[in-house]
Amino acid sequence: MKWLTALATALACLLFLSLAHAQEDVDVVISPLGDGTIGGSATFSPAGDGSQTDVAVRLGGLELGDAHASLIYEGTDCAAGAYGAIVEILNPILGNPSGTGESTTRVALPLQEVAIGATVLVIHAGAIPQDDPTPIACGVIPSLSGQPQPTSTPAPEPTMAAPVAGVGFLPVGDNGTRDTVIAIFLAEFGIVALGAGLALRRSSR
């Protein structure tokens, strides 16, 4: 029966690799505020071992040489003054001759702690907020789970499923991740059941 244990271990590795790849990037639309013309987009991607996040910001409508601070705040609304404490300070965006600009920042937070549905990405008029804190563009960062989490209280612990054939406990995430878990679980269950049936058939001979 050692081969059944080896098979379960191999399938467990496949399951965790599939879950790792199931976590996709999060895209944010950055819209102008007020009468502004600056807007663009941002992409939040898992980085390193998953404990960090890369934030790539791209803007258009910039003036050559102008620098604009970009920060992540607590909040669910882009209306001026609707956001709260600073979560992360990102690298500023510098306007180039084409009127565009971009920056990439690696922050020391996993994606699931940034994309919680209760954070916003704000572009300020000044290179640092102290120069000119006026917000000129903003985008609401969506939640990975599809449900906003309050920033004033800790996020709930993930729901844990029952152990499966040596796999251990598996977190139940969004619908895409859940479908991946179910599909791999059914495949693993079928293979293990088939192996057990063959083993019993051999032992009965």
In this structure, what token pair is assigned to residue 66? 């102008």
The whole-number pLDDT of residue 57 equals 98
Where are the alpha helices (H) located in the chain, listed in sequence order?
A: 2-22, 111-114, 175-204
The whole-number pLDDT of residue 127 equals 93
How many domains is the chain partitioned into structurally? 2
136/169 same-domain check: no
The whole-number pLDDT of residue 150 equals 52
16/36 same-domain check: no
The whole-number pLDDT of residue 80 equals 73
Whole-number Å distance between alpha carbons of 9 and 190:
15
45/100 same-domain check: yes
Answer yes or no: is 176 within a domain. yes
In this structure, what token pair is assigned to residue 105? 């920042």
Answer yes or no: is 99 within a domain. yes
Answer yes or no: is 149 within a domain. no
163/136 same-domain check: no
37/90 same-domain check: yes
DSSP code at position 129: T
7/87 same-domain check: no
The residue from 106, 141, 176 where one domain ends is 141
Please state the separation of Cα 150 from the chain's center in Å. 17
Answer yes or no: is 200 within a domain. yes
**What spatial distance separates the first Cα and last Cα of the chain, rounded to whole Å?**
16
Answer yes or no: is 153 within a domain. no
Domain that holds residue 200: 2-22+159-204
The whole-number pLDDT of residue 6 equals 47
31/78 same-domain check: yes
Spatial neighbors of 122 by CB under 8 A, at least 6 apart, are 70, 71, 72, 73, 78, 83, 135, 137, 138
The whole-number pLDDT of residue 24 equals 85
Whole-number Å distance between alpha carbons of 44 and 24:
9
pLDDT tens digits, 125-138:
999 888 899 999 99
Answer yes or no: is 181 within a domain. yes
Output the pTM of the full model: 0.63
113/67 same-domain check: yes
The sheet with strand 100-107 has its strands ordered as 86-94, 67-74, 119-124, 135-141, 26-32, 39-47, 52-60, 100-107
Q: What is the mean pLDDT of each run of 10 residues along the chain (205 residues)?
A: 49 46 81 94 95 97 94 92 92 96 97 95 92 93 73 38 34 43 51 54 56
In this structure, what token pair is assigned to residue 134? 């006026």
Answer yes or no: is 66 within a domain. yes
75/165 same-domain check: no
The whole-number pLDDT of residue 187 equals 54
The whole-number pLDDT of residue 92 equals 96
The whole-number pLDDT of residue 201 equals 56
